[in-house]
Amino acid sequence: MYNVSYTNVPTHTYPTFKMQFTLPVLTALLSTLAIAAPTPQESTTPPPDPATYENVTIDSFLVRYHTNVTDNVSFKLSAKDATDLACTASDVRLQKVYKCGESKYLFALIEGTDAEFGLRLYHELGVA
């Protein structure tokens, strides 16, 4: 149970409340919180097979544009089959795919979700 008491309150302030809990009420509240706490769940999903993905690092990503026209995109790509590969394109259009030099890596500039632009990467793995 709790007791509410008011102190001498001037007309321009708010009353002060004092709450006092008895030991059984406090124990019941704390045990309820302990029961309601989520327990950690072990993942039953196995980790992805390293043969099904590739780690890619993008450095020096730059987009030059003005009045809704993208003049130039450039960045360096490091991945499984490339280190500091220069990827550039001029007169860039959204969703159009461009090749990174003479490599099997390709990219497309896309509309961003958290930024104005996003980058979609492709890696040719065989003959299509």
Element (H, E) at 29: helix 23-36
pLDDT digits (tens, 9 = 90+) for 6-54: 444 444 444 554 555 455 554 555 555 445 555 666 767 887 787 788 8
CB atoms within 10 A of CB 73: 22
Backbone dihedral region for residue 25 (phi beyond 0: left; psi -120 to 50: alpha; all else: beta): alpha
Kindly report, residue by residue over 42-89, the tens digit of the pLDDT.
767 887 787 788 889 999 999 888 877 788 999 999 998 899 999 999
The structure tokens listed for 62 are 């730059």
Report the C-alpha dihedral over residues 112, 117, 123, 124, rounded to 10 degrees: 100
Going from N- to C-terminal start, the domains of the chain cover 54-123
How many angstroms separate the CA atoms of 44 and 84, rounded? 37
